[in-house]
Amino acid sequence: MREEENNRSSKSEENKLNAKSLLRKRWVLPAVYLVAAAGVLSAVFVMQGGDESAAPEEGVEVTDPNFTGDMNPYGEDAVAVTASSEVIKMPVVDEEEVTVVGYFYDVNGSPEEQQEALVYYNNTYFPNKGMDFAHVDGESFDAAAALSGTVVKAEKDSLLGYVVEISHEDGVVTHYHSLESVEVEEGATVEQGDILGRAGRNSYNADAGIHVHFEIRYDGVAVNPNDVFQQPIDSVRDIADEQEKEEPKEEPKEEEQPAEEEDGKEDGTSDEEEVTPEENNDEGEDQEEQSELG
């Protein structure tokens, strides 16, 4: 018995000595710490994998409470930004099939440009308040809405042919004259590019032949369509404001206009300003001088 006890005590003392010698080595303690840490992490992963309630359910979106995303700084739902306005297009279906036969009268244009932008009617020249388009082959063609809007007029005019007027946002109205027929009715809503009618002739601008007359106005002020094509509708207001500032103010005339001229403007040209070329002014002065002498 004593021998067995002595053997056990001697073995325990050897184990203690081996443990002490082992602990004296530098790599032992870090290794122990690493093993312990690995054991702890393994236990955590096993616990998470076994607990299905810790994982989000299928189809449930997990969001970070600190992530604002589509919300404003106050936590309310963000309001969607209004889509950009339409770009103004030419009042035709195929731009390559038409040509310009009448230009907008620019008060700041050259004398040659102003001469080309005059409409001769009833022995009088009037400034063109829009643009005139004709087919390259002189044929009729479809007139299309340059912008989406609401039809406010669709009727036949004895002087201008069939006319269509469409109201748009921000006080903009587009005018389509010299149509031989119309495909829309007053009060209808049209989309950009919808067919409005067919090009035809009218009595006001007979020299243009088969054509479509197009005007674009902001609060009644005519704007050069060529300046706003491929531009958003907001550009019409800006150009109209600049146009009013640059347009020279006419001095009041001393003599009243003859009654026949006023009657002539009631047939559809009431908004047109009469313009007479220089050579016509000279002839008029000679006639006045002859009448005075007579």
Percent of the chain scoring above 90 in pLDDT: 50
Residue (of 219, 214, 226) closest to 240 by Cα position: 219
User: What is the distance, to the nearest Å, from the Cα of residue 292 to the centroid of all Cα atoms in its chain?
Assistant: 59
Contact 279, 285 (CB under 8 A): no
Residue (of 151, 142, 144) closest to 184 by Cα position: 151
Q: Could you tell me if residue 279 is left (phi over 0), alpha (psi between -120 and 50 degrees) or otherwise beta?
A: alpha
Q: What are phi and psi of 117, to 5 degrees?
A: -100, 25
Which span out of 29-33, 42-46, 59-63, 98-102 was modeled with the highest average pLDDT?
98-102
Higher pLDDT, 150 or 292: 150
- The span from the CA of 167 to the CA of 175, in Å, is 9
pLDDT on residue 38: 75
Neighbours of 276 (CB within 10 A): 14
pLDDT exceeds cutoff 90 at 248 = no
pLDDT on residue 80: 43
pLDDT on residue 253: 42
pLDDT exceeds cutoff 50 at 226 = yes
What mean pLDDT, rounded, does the chain reach?
76
Provide the pLDDT confidence category of residue 288 given band limits of 50, 70 and 90. Answer: very low
pLDDT exceeds cutoff 90 at 190 = yes
Region 196-220 average pLDDT: 97
DSSP 88-106: P--SBS-GGGEEEEE----
- The span from the CA of 236 to the CA of 227, in Å, is 9
Region 69-76 average pLDDT: 50
Region 63-80 average pLDDT: 50
Region 206-234 average pLDDT: 96
Residue type, 82: T
Region 108-133 average pLDDT: 96
DSSP the chain: -HHHHHHHHHHHHHHHHHHHHHHTSTTHHHHHHHHHHHHHHHHHHHHHHH-GGGSPPTTPPP--TT--TTB-TTSSBPPPPPPPPPBP--SBS-GGGEEEEE----TTS-HHHHHHTEEEETTEEEE-SSEEEEETTS---EEE-SS-EEEEEEEEETTTEEEEEEE-GGGEEEEEEEEEEE---TT-EE-TT-EEEEEB--STTGGG-SBEEEEEEETTEEE-GGGTTTSBTHHHHHHHHHHHHHSPPPPPPSSPPPHHHHHHHTTS-TTPPPB--HHHHHHHHHHHHHHHH-
pLDDT on residue 252: 42
pLDDT on residue 244: 77
pLDDT exceeds cutoff 60 at 130 = yes
Provide the pLDDT confidence category of residue 284 given band limits of 50, 70 and 90. Answer: very low
